[in-house]
Amino acid sequence: MKKFLKATVAAVAFAAAGSAAQAADLKACFVYVGPVGDFGWTYQHDQGRLAVEEHFGDRVETAYLESVAEGPDAERAIERFAREGCGIIFTTSFGYMNPTIKVAKKFPDVKFEHATGYKTADNVATYNSKFHQGRYIIGQIAAKQSKTGTAGYIASFPIPEVVSGINAFMLGAQSVNPDFKVKVVWVNTWFDPGKEADAAKALIDQGADVISQHTDSTAPLQVAQERGVHGFGQASDMINFAKDAQYTAIIDDWAPYYIHRVEEVLNGTWESHSSWEGLAEGHVVMAPYTNLPEDVVAMAEATEQKIIDGWEPFTGPIIKRDGTVVAEEGVRLDDGAILGMNWYVQGIDDELEQ
Amino acid sequence: MRLELVKRKERSASMAVMSPLVAVGLTALAAAIIFAISGVNPLVGLYEFFIDPLTERWSLEATIAKATPLILIGCGLAVCYLSNNWNIGAEGQFVVGALFGSALPVLFPSFENALTLPLMLIFGAVGGALWALIPAVLKTRFNTNEILTSLMLVYVASLLLDYLVRGPWRDPDGFNFPESRIFSDAATLPDVFGGLMSLATPITIVIAIVLAIVLAKTLKGFEIRVMGESPRAGSFAGFSAKKLTIFSFALAGALAGLAGTMEVSAALNQLLPSISPGYGFTAIIVAFLGRLNPIGIIIAGFVLALSYIGGEGVQSGLGVSNEIASVIQGLLLFFVLACDTLILYRVRLVTRKVSATTGEPSHV
C-alpha cells in the first residue's frame, strides 16, 4: 500500500512537472456543446482549434471540453478554463451566453469569445457567420433540381438564426420557381441522429425530394442517400456520408477567425467586438457542387460570386406570410432585422410560434 | 452447466455497509484500466478524476453545488423506493417545480420583497408535488404502472418548459431567443461561502437530516419501511398502501420541485429550454448508491458529483473524451447493483446432471 501511494505521488508530481515544462505563450480553450465527432457544428469548431494549434505550434496550447450542457455545467466549465490559465476562451453555443458573461465578470483579464450570442462586455466578444448566404444558394439549387417542387427542411429551434435560414432558403428557391414549397419539421435538438433521420423520412414520404437541414448530424443525408433523393451538408462537408445525395454543403470555417483572434491576444491588440461575416471573408464556404448538371453549378457559382461581391440575399421585395411588405423592391434588410428575425416569408408551409 | 443465484439464508450486516465501498473500489480499478487503454497513465488519470477536484476550494465548492440537487431529489426518491413506489419521473417533477417557482419572477417581475423567495420555494415544492401526484393517483385509482406514467410525464414536463420559454414566457427584451427574463435580486437565492454554492446546499442538508430522523425514529418512517418490505404485514397494522403511495409521491415531487426552483433561482437565474442535465435520472443512482438512506445519499450525491467534476478535469487536463465520465458513472451503478446482488444471493455453478429437486447439487 505504501508503495502504491509513493508511486501515485511520484506519478502526480511527474504529471505536474510535465505540464509546467511545456509552458506556451497562451492557452486557448474551447467549450463545445456537442461531441467533437458530430461531423457538424462542434466538429468544425474543433477543426478551427486544430488549425490554431498547427498555425502557432508551441506558442499556443489548446484545451477543450465537449458535450457541455447549457446551464450551470457550462458556467463551471468556463470558470474551470479561466482558473486553469486560459488566456482566451471560446464558448461555442448560444446557450453559453449568460454563463460566459457571468464568468467574464469574475476574470477581467481573460478574453472571452461567445459564438452566436448578442451580449458583449469589455472582455467578451461575439462572433457568428452569415450562414443565410449559403442557404440562399442551396434554395436555388433545390428549386432547380426538385421534381416535386417541394423541399423538406429539418429545423432545430425557432431562434432567429434558424428562421432566417429557412427564409433565405425560400427566397433562393422562389427566385427560380415562385411556386416552390418548403415543408418544415422542427426536431427541437441540434444533434440527434435518430430524430433527424425520422424527420427526413417523414418529409420524403410527404413528397419532398430535396432535404435541407439545420441540425448537425449526417443522418438526414444518409437517409436521402438510401431513399434516392438529395440534400445538403450542414456545417461540414458531409460528402463522404452521402456520395450520391449531397449537392453541396454550407461549411462553417472558423479557422481564419480563431487564428486571427488568438494572434490579437498574443499581440495585445484584442478588443471586444461583434463579428458577423460570410462568404466574402471565407467564414462560410460552399463545398464542391456535386451530383448537379453544369447549368445549375454555373447558377450556384454565379450567385456565390454575387454575394461575395456584396449582394445581400435579404434584399426586397420581401413579403411576410400575412402579406405585410417588409422590404420594398431593392431595399436591403438591415443586420438587426436579420439577426432578430421571427417571421416567415410568403410561401412557407408552417406556422411560427409568436 | 449453468450459473445460478441462490438466496442467502442471512445477510451479512457488515457487507451491507461495505458493499458501496467495494463498488467504488472496483469502479476505480475499472477506471484505471480504461485510462490505461486510452493512453493515459492510470494513476494520473485516477488522481485527476477522484482526488484533484478535492484539492482546490473552488472545485470542491463546484462539486458540492453539483451534488445539491442530486441529494435533494435522491432523498425524496428514497422514500418512494423504500415504500415500493417506483417514481422514475423526478426529472419532470424537477422541471414543473421550477416552472411553478419561476412563475412569480417571470410573470410579476416587479414583485420584489422579502416574501418573493419564500413564496417561490413554496410554489416550487407545490408544483413538483402536484406533478408527482398524477402518477400516484393514476396508480391508486386505476392501478396503472407508475414506472411508465411517471417516466412519460418527464417528456410532457420538458415540452411544457420548452413551450413556455419559446412562447408566453419569453424575455420581451431577448431578441426572440428562447429564454425567460433574468430574475431580480429578490428572486435570486443568495450565495454562501463565496460564490459557487448557494443557500440551496444548507437547505438540502437540513432536509436530508430531518428526513433521516423521520425515517429512523418515527412511526411514519416505520410505516414507510414496513409497507415496502411487507405490505401484507403493514395492512394488518392498519397502514394504507394507497395513502402511502400518495404521500411518498407527493414528498418526492415536492423535494424535486424545490430542487428545481432552487437550481433555477440560484444557478441559472432564468428559465432556459433545458434546465437540467438529467438530475432527476442521476438522482435514482444516487438514491440506490446511498442505500436509500438520507445520510448515505448525501455521501452518494457527493461521489457522483465528483465523477462529473473529475470527468471535466481529465478532459481539460489530459485530453480524454468526456464519455469516460459517463462510462465510469455507469460502471459505478453496475458494481453497486452487482455487490448488492451478491449480498442477497450467492452464485453457484450447477451441472446439468443434478435435478433441482434433490437439493444439494455439486458446486465448484
A230-235 and A246-252 strand pairing: parallel
Predicted pLDDT of residue B352: 66
CATH code matching the domain that covers A132-253+288-349, chosen among 3.90.180.10, 3.40.50.1100, 3.30.450.40, 3.40.50.2300: 3.40.50.2300
The domain that holds B117 is classified in CATH as: 1.10.3470
Residue of A12, A30, A42, A86 best to disrupt the B interface, most CBs of B under 10 A = A12
Any domain includes B50: no
| Cβ neighbours around A120 below 10 Å, total | 16
A76 contacts on B by Cβ (under 8 Å):
62, 65-66, 196, 309, 312
Nearest to B322 among A65, A83, A354 (CB): A65
Question: Is residue B301 one of the residues assigned to a domain?
Answer: yes
Average pLDDT (B196-212) is: 93
The answer to whether domain A26-129 and domain A132-253+288-349 are alike in fold is yes
The answer on B333 and B294 residing in a single domain is no
What is the pLDDT confidence band of residue B353, given thresholds at 50, 70 and 90? low
- Chain A CB contacts of B309 under 8 Å are 76
The answer to whether residues B298 and B199 belong to one domain is yes
Please say if the pLDDT value at position B143 is more than 60. Answer: yes
Nearest CA in chain A to B318: A63
- pLDDT value, residue B362: 46
A7 contacts B47 by C-beta, under 8 angstroms = no
Question: Look-up: residue for cell 459517463?
Answer: B326
pLDDT of the residue at A65: 92
| Phi, psi torsion values for B192, nearest 5 degrees | -125, 155
Q: How far apart are CA B297 and CA A85, in angstroms?
A: 35
* Cell 435570486, residue located: B188
Percent of chain A scored above 70 by pLDDT? 93
* B348 vs A303 pLDDT, higher one: A303
Residue type, B280: G
More confident residue, A82 or A94: A82
Question: What is the per-residue pLDDT across A89-117, written as a single tens digit (0 to 9) for each?
Answer: 999 998 899 899 999 999 999 999 999 88
pLDDT of A21 over the 50 cut: no
Residue range(s) defining the domain that contains residue B349 = 1-38+322-364
Q: Does the pLDDT of residue B252 top 70, yes or no?
A: yes
User: Does a cis peptide bond (omega within 30 degrees of 0) precede residue B168?
Assistant: no
* Statement to judge: residues B87 and B126 lie in one domain: yes
Residues B228 and B342 in one domain: no
Question: Which segment of B55-69, B136-150, B169-183, B224-238 scores lowest on mean pLDDT?
Answer: B169-183
How high is the pLDDT of residue A354?
58
Cα–Cα dist A14/A28, whole Å:
23
Mean pLDDT along residues B198-210: 94
Q: Is residue B284 in a domain?
A: yes
pLDDT at B361 over 50: no
pLDDT for residue A353: 64
pLDDT value of position A19: 46
- Residue A22: the pLDDT is 54
Q: pLDDT (tens digit, 9 = 90+) per residue, A173-213? A: 999 999 999 999 999 888 889 999 999 999 999 999 999 99
Q: What is the mean pLDDT of chain B?
A: 88
pLDDT at B349: 82
Q: Using a CB-CB distance cutoff of 8 angstroms, which residues of chain A are in contact with residue B269?
A: 98
The set of residues, in sequence order, having a beta carbon less than 8 Å from that of A288 and lying 6+ positions away, is A237, A239, A248
Dist CA A257 CA A281 (whole Å)? 10
Own/partner pairs, B190-199, CB within 8 angstroms, 24+ separation: B191/B266, B193/B61, B194/B57, B194/B61, B195/A106, B195/B61, B196/A76, B196/A79, B196/B58, B196/B61, B196/B62, B196/B65, B197/B61, B197/B64, B197/B65, B197/B68, B198/B65, B198/B262, B198/B265, B198/B266, B198/B267, B199/B262, B199/B266
B190 or B91: which leads in pLDDT: B91
Domain extents for chain A? 26-129, 132-253+288-349
Which residue does chain B place closest to A162, by CA atoms? B177
CATH class, domain A26-129, is alpha beta
pLDDT at residue A48, rounded to an integer: 96
* pLDDT (0 to 100) of residue B38: 85
At residue A18, does pLDDT exceed 50?
Answer: no
What's the mean pLDDT in B77-82?
A: 95
Measure the CA angle with vertex A10, ends A7 and A13; round to 5°. Answer: 150
For residue B46, tell me if it sits in a domain. Answer: no
Residue B7 pLDDT: 82
Residue B270 lies in a domain: yes
Distances B105 to A156, A266, B40, B249 between C-alpha atoms, Å = 28, 43, 48, 27
Greater model confidence, A39 or B157 = B157
Tell me: do B257 and B331 sit in the same domain: no
A97-106 vs A72-83: helix crossing angle, rounded to 10: 40
User: What is the spatial distance between Cα B309 and Cα B325, in angstroms, rounded to a whole number?
Assistant: 9
Q: Has residue A5 got a pLDDT over 80?
A: no
Looking at the 3D structure of chain B, how many domains does it have? 2
Q: Are residues B150 and B292 in the same domain?
A: yes
Q: Same domain, yes or no, for B158 and B146?
A: yes
Contact status, residue A75 vs residue B267, Cβ threshold 8 Å: yes
Instruction: Kindly report the average pLDDT of chain A as a whole number.
Output: 90
CB atoms within 10 A of CB A140: 25
A148, pLDDT greater than 60: yes
Mean pLDDT within A61-70: 90
Q: Is residue B45 part of a domain?
A: no
Specify whether B195 is located in the same domain as B126.
yes
Distant-in-sequence, close-in-space partners of A305: CB < 8 Å, separation ≥ 6 = none
| Residues of A at the B interface, defined by Cβ within 8 angstroms | 7-8, 11-12, 14-15, 19, 29, 35, 63-67, 69-73, 75-77, 79-81, 83-84, 94-95, 98, 106, 118, 157-160, 188, 339-342, 353-354
> Which pLDDT does position B364 carry in this prediction?
43
pLDDT(A120) > 80:
yes
Query: Count of alpha carbons within 13 Å of A260, Cβ hemisphere only?
Result: 12
Q: Which of A83, A128, A74 is nearest to A101 (CA)?
A: A74
DSSP secondary structure code for residue A215 in this structure:
S
Taking the C-alpha atoms of residue B217 and residue B207, their distance in angstroms, rounded to an integer, is 15
pLDDT per position as a tens digit, A305-353: 999 999 999 998 999 988 889 998 889 998 888 988 889 998 888 887 6
Is B316 in Cβ contact with A71 (below 8 Å)?
A: no
Interatomic CA distance for residues A247 and A239, integer angstroms: 9
> Residue A265's pLDDT is what?
95
- Same domain, yes or no: B22 and B98: no
Predicted pLDDT of residue B56:
86
Cβ pair A87, A110 in contact under 8 A: yes
Q: Residue A179: what are its φ and ψ, rounded to 5°?
A: -100, 15
Between A157 and A52, the more confident residue is A52
Please write down the long-range contacts of B226-234, taking CB distance under 8 Å and 24 or more positions apart. Answer: B227/B83, B227/B84, B228/B81, B228/B82, B228/B83, B228/B84, B231/B84
Same domain, B361 and B292: no
**Distance between CA atoms of residues A77 and A300, nearest Å:** 42
Among A177, A188, A222, A190, smallest CA distance to A204 is for A222
How many other C-beta atoms are found inside a 10 Å radius of the C-beta of residue A231?
Answer: 33
Evaluate whether A343 touches A325 at the Cβ level (below 8 Å). no
ipTM over 0.90: no
Say yes or no to pLDDT of A69 above 90.
no
Interface contact flag, B316 A70, Cβ < 8 Å: no
CB contact under 8 A, A80 and B43: no
- In terms of pTM, does the model score above 0.95? no
Q: Are residues B15 and B129 in the same domain?
A: no
In single-letter form, the type of residue at position A85 comes to G
Residue B236 in domain: yes
Q: What is the pLDDT of residues A121-136, one digit of tens each?
A: 999 999 999 999 999 9
pLDDT > 50? residue B160:
yes
Question: If you ran DSSP here, which 8-state letter would residue A250 be given?
Answer: E
Question: Cell 394507497 appears where?
Answer: B242
pLDDT tens for B306-328 read 988 888 888 888 878 778 878 88
Q: What angle do CA A273, A274, A276 make, to 5 degrees?
A: 140
Question: Does B51 map to a domain?
Answer: no
Cα nearest neighbour of A29 on chain B: B316
In this structure, the answer to whether residues B221 and B231 fall within a common structural domain is: yes
CA dihedral A77→A80→A82→A88, nearest 10 degrees, is -50
3-state helix, strand, coil in chain B (%, to 5): 70, 5, 25
Q: Which residue has cell 505550434?
A: A57
pLDDT of residue A134: 96
- Which H or E run includes A89? strand A88-91
